[in-house]
Structure formats: C-alpha cells, structure tokens
Amino acid sequence: MRFLLRSKIHKATVTDANVDYVGSITIDKDLMDKVGFWAGEKVLITDNTNGARVETYIIAGAKGSGTICINGAAAHLIKKGDEVIIMGFELDDEPIKPRIILVDKQNKFVKYL
C-alpha cells in the first residue's frame, strides 16, 4: 500500500487567514467538487509564497465564492494573498489518476491538469 496523490487544487490564492478560528481550511464547495474533496478530509497545504507546509482538515465554503481561508494556528504560517497548493492523498495498492485543477488569481476554475 502507498499514499498517492488523489486530488489537487493548484496555485490557489488565500482569500483570508483567521488565527482565532479553531483550525482547518475553508474551500469553495465548487472547487471541492471538481477535485473530489470532502468536508472533514485531511489535506496537505504547501505555500508557494514562503515554503510553509501544514496539514489540516477541510470545511466547505460557499459555492462560487472563491474562498480559500486558512484558519487557526496555520494562519500564523500562511497569510492572505499567499499562493498555495492543496493536496489530498489516498492509500491504495494500485496507481490512481489524480484529479488536479488549476485556478486563477480569484480561485476560479481554469482547467484540469
């Protein structure tokens, strides 16, 4: 069994960072649906702006909002305006084809990669 990349939102822009929230990342539900993310799912977030890497869980944001909000302690590392990659993984014993999307600066879907 291996951990394999299953889902990825590439080059998203953080729209807000709220250190006072109890943790997690809020993601526009439309983007979640495009890559197959679930609310409560553990994800790895890498910050292209400063190199930070954090793991947290997903909260669904409003559809079509473009929301990518870093909540809780992670907001000390990842700030509003930072460019991030959000990845979900799956434990499997066979290769899988990941669902990867590219978004624009307003976190609107551009294309599947």
Residue 10 domain-assigned? yes
Mean pLDDT of the chain: 97
Domain extent, residue 27, equals 2-108
Q: Is 62 contained in some domain?
A: yes
In a domain, 39, yes or no: yes
Q: Considering the domain boundaries, does residue 113 fall inside one?
A: no
Of residues 42, 6, 46, the one with CA closest to residue 24: 42
Q: Name the residues annotated as catalytic.
A: 24, 57
What is the CATH classification number for the domain harbouring 79? Answer: 2.40.40.20
Q: Is the confidence at residue 23, as pLDDT, over 90?
A: no
Q: Is residue 13 over pLDDT 90?
A: yes
Output the pLDDT for position 9: 98
Across residues 64-72, what is the average pLDDT? 98
81 falls within a domain: yes
Query: Residue 107 pLDDT more than 90?
Result: yes
The single residue listed with the structure tokens 């947290």 is 56
What is the mean predicted confidence (pLDDT) over 55-79?
97
Interatomic CA distance for residues 37 and 59, integer angstroms? 10
Number of domains in the chain: 1
